[in-house]
Structures are given as C-alpha cells and as structure tokens.
Structure 1
Amino acid sequence: MEHVVQVLGPREVPLGGPRAMTVRRTLPARERSFVGAWCFADHYGPDDVAATGGMDVAPHPHCGLATVSWLFSGEVEHRDSLGTTALVRPGEVNLMTAGRGISHSEVSTSATTVLHGAQLWVALPEAAAGVEPRFEHHVPEVLRPAEGVTAQVFVGSLWGAASPVRTESPLLGVEVVLDGGAEVGLPVPDDWEVGVLVDDGGVTFCGQALERAELGVVDAADPAAASSPGPRVVRAGSDGARVLVLAGKPFGEEIVMWWNFVGRSHDEVVAAREAWESGADGEEAGPFGRVDGYSGETPRIPAPALPGVRLRSRGNRGRPGHPEAEAPAMS
C-alpha cells in the first residue's frame, strides 16, 4: 500500500495593515482545514525590503490559537500585550499561545534587507482554548539525520531532538534542508498527518512531486489496514531543497476560524470581534490587552465587518467553512 499525497497549491493574499505585503497561503484550503492541529500556513519572500517596504503589521488580536513564527532570512520585532519585546531571527522559533486573548504587532527591523519566512497557526483544542496567554522562544540545534541533510526541530520531537516550547496537542514542526539528490525518511507515528511545505527547490514526498510553495499532505494511516504504508520519505531534486515538515495527530474537532480568531461557534467569534472593537479608542485595553511601543502609522488594525451569513465550522472530516464566511486572516 502506498501513501496518497494531497497537493495544496498556494494562493496569494495581502497581509493586513496599511503597508500590506503579499504572502502565499496554503492552509486553510477549500480541500483541507488542518494538518494535525496546524490550521494556517503563510509563506513569504524572499522579498527585497527596499522595494516592498517589508513587514509592518500593527497591533491586532488573537484567541483560541497559537502562532509559530519561523524565518529563513531577515529579522522581525515582535511586541505583545504581555509586555514582551522579542526578535524573530532565522533558525529561532517564537511561539505565542493566544489562549483566552492576546494582541501583538510584527515589524521587520531596519537591519533587514531580505525578508523570507513562514507564519503558522495552531488551533487549540477546546479544553485549552481559554488558557492564559504566553510567549516562548527557542533556538533548536542543527541535526544531521541523513547524508546531505540538516534539520532543526522547532516544535515537538524528532531524530532524538525535542523542542521545549509547549503545545496543547501532539505536534511536529521541522525545517529540513537537503542537498541535491539527498533523501530522508520521516519517523513520524503512523497515526499522524504529515505535511511538507516546499520553501525552495523541488522535492518528491512519498513519490509525489512538489514544487516551490506547494504543500503536500499524507493522511494518518488507517488503523484497520492490513499493513503499514511504509516510511514517509522526502527526496530533493538535483538542485537541493528546503522544506518545512508540519505534522500532528489528527485534530478531531471542528472550529470556526474567522479573521484572527478561532472559536467553536459563530457567537463566540462575534463576541471576540466586539471585545477587540471595544478598545478602538485606545483608552481601554479590553480582554486582548494593549501593545506598547509600536510606532507605525496605524495604532491598531480594526476588525473587518462580519459577513452577512452565520459563520460555519470547519474540520477535515466535517464540512468546510462557508465561502462567504472565510474572511482572510491578517497575521
């Protein structure tokens, strides 16, 4: 039995704020909402900051999710309502768990000439959706799991390395760089979903060709199957490749994801939007808190208007979100 790889192509969307930058989004897609609990994947750059203006995302809210920031080049300053000021640098992970609510800003620094990276979201399970917000930083070691292959495990554990950043469900996030023709098997549990997002070059994943910016996903193995489908293998083309491996135990819940919020119902998301807008005059911080020290043109990003239909839930085994209810996320 062979693995079946679902290929999700990117779509270009503007990242919010007055100086919107274009990103390539592969998740969520109409065909798929999750890879494990990974529910959102934006891939951007390499962008010449002198030409594009870089990243300048004013304070905006999140709840019910965690954000994972990973850079290949450049530098981004993160500020949040916990009082955190931190830099996102290549090869270093920043994980912000929004939980019950947090707000933050993201601005590429003056030292950045080329900006290139990925912004990823994780849906929190219902039991943990209201946890206290937190921010964590980690510099993963560089591994050599196979000849011509290097890797950094920024979430979860693989190849004997474990990231200390906390997640609320079983997850894996790894950068893998392969020399031309090199290959590596991914020793991920059979009952996990595995995605490979191609940053640079081209690869085959379980025999399926993937080009730059495509996300290839293999579902969890059927426990009732007579035999295992075998190892999940990534092999680079002749020019080499860099990929992100995103994996996790299937997320068995449905969520309502709209703008920067994850909830369990239309009403929950509406309440989150109203809570953010209640601080629009800047006098009251509200449940999302206030980000101090941001010096951009716009003090905060206002929530967009809700669609004229009720927001519907999405899940890999449930119905997708209603097309009219899928407003683009801002960050």
Structure 2
Amino acid sequence: MADMKTKYLGLSLKNPIVVAASSLTSTPGGVKKAADSGAGAVVLKSLFEEQLRADIQAVGGSAGESHPEADAYLSEMGMHAGSGEYLKLIRDAKGEVDIPVIASVNCIGGPWWTEFAEQVGKSGADALELNIAFLSTSPDETASSLEDRVVQIVRTARSASGLPVSVKLGSQYTNLLNLASRLSSAGASGLVLFNRFFRMDIDLSTLGLKAGPVHSGPEDYHESLRWISLLFGRVPCDLAAGTGVHDHESALKVTLAGARAIQLCSVVYQKGFGVIRTILEGMETWLDQRKGSSLDDIRGKLSRFTSRSPADYERLQYIKALTGIY
C-alpha cells in the first residue's frame, strides 16, 4: 500500500485530506466525524471578525469596517458564538481527536483580533488559517494598497499567535506570484487556493438579490490546479487545493501539480463524510497500480517548476482556445 502521509504547515498528517472550515466542523461532534471518516486534519468553522468586534462593542468598543457577507452569514447560519465560545470549541475539538485541528478567522484587517490570535495559540490549535476576503468597492483603492493590507494581517497573526499560519486567498489579485512571495516573507507557512466567495444572483420574479450556487462543482478545480502548478517550487509555502476537488482523480491532479493538502467541503455536504475514504482509496489504488510508494513520489511532478516546457503552463490553453485546436 502506498504511503499517504504528508507534511502540511509543519504538521504531520496521516493523509492530505483536510475537511475545510464550514458548518461541518462547527462542533466537536462534527470534528470527530471527520476524524473517524479518515480525514488527515480539520479546519474549524471560521470565526468572523465581526464576532470579535461584537465582543468588544459589548464592553464599550465601537464599530468599524464591516465584511459585506458577515451579517447575512451570522443571521442565516445562527452562528453568534463569540470568541470565548470559539476558544472552547478549539479545546473541545482537540479533546475529541488525535489529528491536527486548525483554527480559522475570517478577517478584514484592523486590531480587533490581534489579542484573539494570541488566545488561539494558547488554546491548543495546531495552526491558524486566515480566511481573507476583501471586497473592494472603492475606485480609489489600489491593488497594491489592498495587498499591503493582506500582508500586514498575516504578519500580525503570525507574530501574535506563534502558530503556523496559512492564508486562504481568492484568485483575483494582480500578480499572485508576487503576493505569495510577500506573504511567505511575512510569515505565512501555507496558501489555500482558492477561497470560494459568496455568489450573487438576481431573482427575476421579485427583482431582488438572491444567493447564487452555494457549493462548488467537480469542474471548479481547474483554477486551483493552474496556480498550484505555477507556485510550486517558486515560493517556500505549502500549497493546499481549496475548491472543486470532488473525487480521487482531481485529488491526484492537484497533488501532481504540487499540493500538500486537499481541502474538502462541498462534496462532503453532498455525499457525506464517507466520501473521504472513497477518495483516499481511489488515490491509493492509482498509486499502487503505478508502483508509487508515496505521495512524495508524484507531488509537483507536473508543476511548472519541474516542466521542460514551463511556458506551456502560461500560454498553451490560451493558444488552443484562440486557434480552435483541442
């Protein structure tokens, strides 16, 4: 049998499957289900910065910048737990499982959660994932100023928590390679590619706004695949695939591109926790058939870094689409 162990954020995982931050991991029971189903690690549901700010307001603080999705999220999902309850979730989850437990904060900047990051480090979390989701609607904000904010958040979190820090990013940045390099220099140990943001839609019958598709589909892994392959070997960060992996084939593909971890969410909602073992068994079978002894044997094998024709990763698909050659 192939060795499925991996290292991610300096942590030893029995396999690369990580259950992503969501309601699936919002309770100690959910975390235990993930572990019992074979997951190598879990990321606890994200605590929104607004929840930390609410704690401060309750004792006389003031409101500031607000995440555009947070109010609806907190209202619809009923997740009003403050920082104290979240720290308890970390401790309780660690008591239930023997796999790494990664805390998650959905942050937009500011000093609100600096103290909280320190408390996370003291509560037993094995690492901290920063779920950074900026929605810039000002024509006056430049790309560089927005990226500076992201870098500062990472620097502060790493210093305050003392934990390995990963950054869950969106794909809409001017130069992701440059940003990744800056984040690494700021203290990031890993990058999760990519964050699946809230989808907006319009209801034609009510002429109002409504939510778009909530879950990713099996066709959504390609953007993560491309950027993992471009980043592997060029930045000293561990890479995790974060959107669209629904089966063992796509899990193997992102590993070949260079991923050390594979986050699952939508497919677990759709098929249940049992899909974790199905994916792992498919990966093991594929490796055994090809006489592969471990995931390390194939990781990054099809990345741009190891390619004899690296330009293909940047231009090939565009040229094929342009000329109609498939």
Question: Taking structure 2 as the reference length, what is the TM-score of the superposition?
Answer: 0.29
Greater fraction strand = 1
Greater fraction helix = 2
**Which has the bigger relative contact order, CA under 8 A and spacing at least 6?**
1
Question: Taking structure 1 as the reference length, what is the TM-score of the superposition?
Answer: 0.29
